[in-house]
Homo-oligomer: A and B are copies of this chain.
Amino acid sequence: MRASATAAQLAEAREARASYRAGTVVPTSGVAHGLVQANLIAVPADWAFETLLFAQRNPKPMPVLEVLEAGRVESRLAPGSDVRTDIPAYRIWRDGELAEETADASAAWVEHPDLVSFLIGCSFTFEAGLVDAGIPIRHREAGRNVPMYRTSTACASAGRLGGELVVSMRPIPAGRVADAVGISGRYPAVHGAPVHVGDPSSLGIADLDAPDFGDPPALQDGDVPVFWACGVTPQAAIMASRPPFAVTHAPGHMFVTDVPDAEFLR
């Protein structure tokens, strides 16, 4: 480890996970500032190779932080954690359809003991870098979840898994766009630099005010919409590819780890 979390950060992360385990359902943007948060996708073992290959071929939306093989539920990124319960909200998918949203996914592991879990980097990590540089995070200021959009950009497929890129959007004051690009680019393990700046229509996004996931954006005068590859991309792949079963986090409701963001700086 190149950096250490402070005792206060660790205490906040552990309290957050304990609270989610006990049933609290809240978005995690801003929780345990400076510690990495992760997206989850868990699939039956039969789909694990294609999921990992899909990630390898699409590293910007799916930077793999950790893989928990079948039978493992404790993340090395958070000792004592349990990925079945420590995320505030889960989605259960059957044949590509959203079957259920739940605060406790334990039953999914009972039904499918061979689930392989993938923790994927999350843009909330570089948000800390943006905040530290004085760049406003509009959805936090507005007390909202970050807006996320399905795009018309195809990911590289892997066997049975394919689908379109999902992006998150942050309105950035025009004079700080270059800084936001530079800062997020230093975190390639958490989506890195934006995939797109400024023109929603060329990503196939018809209406910025109607995101596919999360809350509507809170643009201010002089803001430019900036789009980053998003860890919800595997959920779009589930919808498009229809694996028989999958578990994911609910968008914006992440797995909070004990690992400092600085671990993933380059």
Q: Which residues of A contact B (CB under 8 A)?
A: 45, 48-49, 52-53, 56-57, 64, 67, 69, 158-159
Contact = CB atoms under 8 A, between A and B. Distances in A.
Contacts of A56: 52, 56, 64, 67
Contacts of A52: 49, 52-53, 56
Most buried by B among A48, A56, A159: A56
15 contacts: A45-B49, A48-B49, A49-B49, A49-B52, A52-B52, A52-B53, A52-B56, A53-B67, A53-B69, A56-B56, A56-B64, A56-B67, A57-B67, A69-B158, A69-B159
A57 B159 CA distance: 22
Contacts of A53: 52, 67, 69
A78 B57 CA distance: 17
Contacts of A69: 53, 158-159
Contacts of A67: 53, 56-57
A158 B179 CA distance: 39
